[in-house]
């Protein structure tokens, strides 16, 4: 296989007896923005986590630029897993409250063995890219706003220049100006690197504005 793109192949996920995804296919090509919508509970976040290589599907698989993935998280080779990043709805649930914003941004760099001085320099560059001022970088999550913390999560997501960026309701909790800024930074990353983007949202107007096509996930009935 040599086909470019992030792809779910006939993915099924079950939580206990509840079949949440039933042989779902999804493809995000480099450079394109795909929307993902569906009723609450239809499995959008589950599919995003599967595509982000955070959750191993029960059936089916994910491939990244033609490379089939086995397992999830740290079982996936660094060169494959750093191609995909995800931005969640709640930055508080997605960050360690004990870390400073600088350390949150540098986390994926340190986790992949980037030397400390380079990680710090790169973290400052990423913070600047998302509009976080140096004084905010020494603070911990409790001392910043949701919007500022989401900017740190975006900087963290961009740390490895992902080929695919998954945004799971990533701006739903933000005020309009932070929402616009996050969308702008994601758009610039996409134009600069040719990354593919998946936008999970309930907001049809947002999807119409950002996505070149929208995939509907059907409601699943607990089985």
Ligand X SMILES: Nc1ncnc2c1ncn2[C@@H]1O[C@H](COP(=O)(O)OP(=O)(O)OP(=O)(O)O)[C@@H](O)[C@H]1O
Q: What is the largest CA-CA distance in the chain?
A: 52
- Which of 41, 66, 115, 194 binds ligand X (CB under 6 A)? It is 41
**Among 86, 54, 62, 63, residue whose Cα is nearest residue 12:** 62
Q: Choose the stretch contacting ligand X; rule: CB under 6 A; options: 22-30, 40-48, 130-138, 208-216.
A: 40-48
Give the DSSP H or E segment for 147. Answer: helix 146-157
| Binding residues with ligand X: total (CB under 6 A) | 10
Handedness of CA 127, 133, 139, 142 (dihedral sign): negative
- Which of 6, 7, 19, 43 binds ligand X (CB under 6 A)? It is 43
Q: Choose the stretch contacting ligand X; rule: CB under 6 A; options: 41-49, 77-85, 95-103, 151-159.
A: 41-49
Q: Choose the stretch contacting ligand X; rule: CB under 6 A; options: 2-10, 44-52, 100-108, 184-192.
A: 44-52
Q: Which is nearer to ligand X, 46 or 148 (CB)?
A: 46
Q: Which is nearer to ligand X, 51 or 155 (CB)?
A: 51
- Which of 3, 10, 15, 78 binds ligand X (CB under 6 A)? It is 15
* 37 makes contact with ligand X (CB under 6 A): no
* Least spacing, CB of residue 21 vs ligand X, in Å: 8
* 117 makes contact with ligand X (CB under 6 A): no
Structure tokens, 57 = 């599907």
Instruction: Return the bridge partners of 67, or none.
Output: 64
Q: Which is nearer to ligand X, 49 or 163 (CB)?
A: 49
* 196 makes contact with ligand X (CB under 6 A): no
Give CA separation, 193 vs 7, 48, 83, in Å: 19, 21, 12
Pairing verdict, β 6-15 and 67-68: unpaired
* 44 makes contact with ligand X (CB under 6 A): yes
Other C-beta atoms closer than 10 Å to the C-beta of 24 total 23
* 201 makes contact with ligand X (CB under 6 A): no
* 56 makes contact with ligand X (CB under 6 A): no
* 131 makes contact with ligand X (CB under 6 A): no
120-127 long-range CB contacts below 8 Å, 24 or more apart? 122/159, 123/155, 123/159, 126/155, 126/156, 126/158, 126/159, 127/101, 127/102, 127/152, 127/155
Binding site for ligand X (CB under 6 A): 15, 20, 38, 40-46
């Amino acid at each position: 296989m040599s086909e470019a793109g992030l792809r779910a192949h006939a993915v099924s996920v079950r939580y206990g007896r509840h079949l949440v995804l039933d042989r779902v296919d999804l493809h995000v090509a480099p450079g394109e923005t795909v929307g993902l919508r569906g009723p609450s509970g239809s499995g959008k976040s589950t599919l995003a986590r599967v595509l982000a290589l955070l959750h191993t599907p029960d059936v089916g698989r994910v491939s990244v630029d033609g490379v089939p993935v086995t397992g999830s998280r740290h079982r996936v080779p660094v060169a494959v897993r750093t191609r995909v990043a995800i931005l969640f709805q709640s930055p508080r649930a997605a960050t360690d409250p004990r870390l400073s914003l600088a350390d949150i941004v540098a986390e994926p760099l340190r986790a992949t063995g980037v030397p400390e001085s380079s990680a710090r320099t790169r973290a400052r560059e990423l913070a600047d890219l998302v509009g976080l001022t140096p004084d905010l970088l020494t603070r911990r999550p409790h001392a910043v706003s949701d919007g500022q913390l989401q900017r740190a999560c975006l900087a963290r997501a961009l740390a490895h220049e992902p080929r695919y960026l998954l945004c799971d309701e990533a701006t739903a909790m933000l005020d309009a100006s932070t929402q616009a800024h996050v969308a702008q930074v994601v758009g610039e990353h996409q134009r600069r690197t040719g990354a593919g983007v998946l936008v999970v949202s309930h907001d049809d107007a947002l999807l119409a504005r950002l996505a070149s096509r929208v995939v509907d996930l059907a409601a699943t009935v607990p089985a």
